Amino acid sequence: MSHARPALRRPEAGLALALAFAVGVAVFAAVFLFGRSNTPDYTATLFGREGADAMRLKARLATGVLGLAVLQLVLALWMYRRLPGVRRVPGPVPIGHRIAGVVLFALTVPIAVHCIRAYGVQLTGSRAAVHSVAGCFFYGAFAAKVLLVHSRRLPGWALPLAGGALFAVVVVLWYSSALWHFNGDSVPVLSFG
């Protein structure tokens, strides 16, 4: 079974790409605007934990999300036969990829809800700004990827680009939050301002 997609030759493919991009931008904008209009509540709890305990829990959950993102990447490379020596793709690989994606997304929701409730979208300070914008981008990119997965008329580069963008943003989110927390509220490059 080949997972290759036909080349971009039909207007429908361009329309599908444009729709996925537009939905991604709309979701990004909605999360961004909601987060900017939110009045931060620094006493907000996450599963009953607040303050430093909530930060510690979010850092652990984010580390789980990063682990699932790595698993997603490996399974995607396996499905598309991009791992060295892979000739055959067992049936559980695509199913595992989907399940890991659903669990990954589900783990991000309580983290994002707490971030928006407690802090909103902050644009002051380099770490907070990068983290806030990356968080909004994650949900926009996720929405776009979901649309792309269900389209059969896309060029072969579209889905790997969307998946790669999601993986990269998960790394940025982990770096600007969990690593920052584990490293004593400091990370190279983003610890100024």
At 154-181, the pLDDT tens digits run 888 899 999 999 999 999 999 999 999 9
Q: Report pLDDT digits (tens) over 76-99.
A: 999 989 999 888 999 999 999 999
What b/e string do you get for 147-186 counting C-beta neighbours within 10 Å, with b at 16 or more? Answer: bbbebebbbeebbeebbebbbebbebbbbbbbbbbeeeee
Q: Can you tell me the mean pLDDT for 42-71?
A: 94
Tokens representing 109 are: 């929701």
Domain ranges across the chain:
11-182
Average pLDDT, the chain: 90
Q: Report pLDDT digits (tens) over 16-45.
A: 899 999 999 999 999 999 999 999 999 999
Decide: 128 and 119 in contact? Cβ < 8 Å: yes
